[in-house]
Amino acid sequence: MPVIKILPHPEYCPAGAEITAPAGTSICEALLENHINIEHACDMSCACTTCHVVVRSGIESLNEAEEEEEDLLDRAWGLEPQSRLSCQAIIAQKDLVVEIPKYSINHAKENH
């Protein structure tokens, strides 16, 4: 199973983490299943940017971003060339390094 290294994030993962997830799982699902409670205000339906992540390593192994995801990413805080919506980024067989941005554009956080 691929290993996903999550870089430290002050709120979601202060010490960083290494998790595994089966191929075919979205990064968002893998994070949530491992108790890293990343925001996902639209319930993983590709309708917001709260689950935005930056894939620091292994991005070429993920499925290609579709136009709808790319349009939404244009509104994400801290957009980078390696940015993906974690609910749309499907894990393949390669290890990943993922950074959760410090901020999101979601002003009213909800506990999921």
Q: Is the dihedral of CA 73, 74, 75, 80 positive or negative?
A: positive
DSSP labels for 8-52? PBTTTBTT-EEEE--TT-BHHHHHHHTT-----TTSSSSS-STTE
Report, as ranges of residue numbers, the positions in the chain whose pLDDT lies below 70. Answer: 105-112
pLDDT score recorded for residue 103: 79
Domains of the chain with CATH codes: 3-99 (3.10.20.30)
State pTM to two decimals: 0.92
The per-residue pLDDT for range 23-35, each reduced to its tens digit, is 999 999 999 999 9
CA 64 vs CA 61, 89, 92, 107: distances in Å: 9, 8, 11, 29
What CA–CA distance (Å, rounded) separates 8 from 99?
8
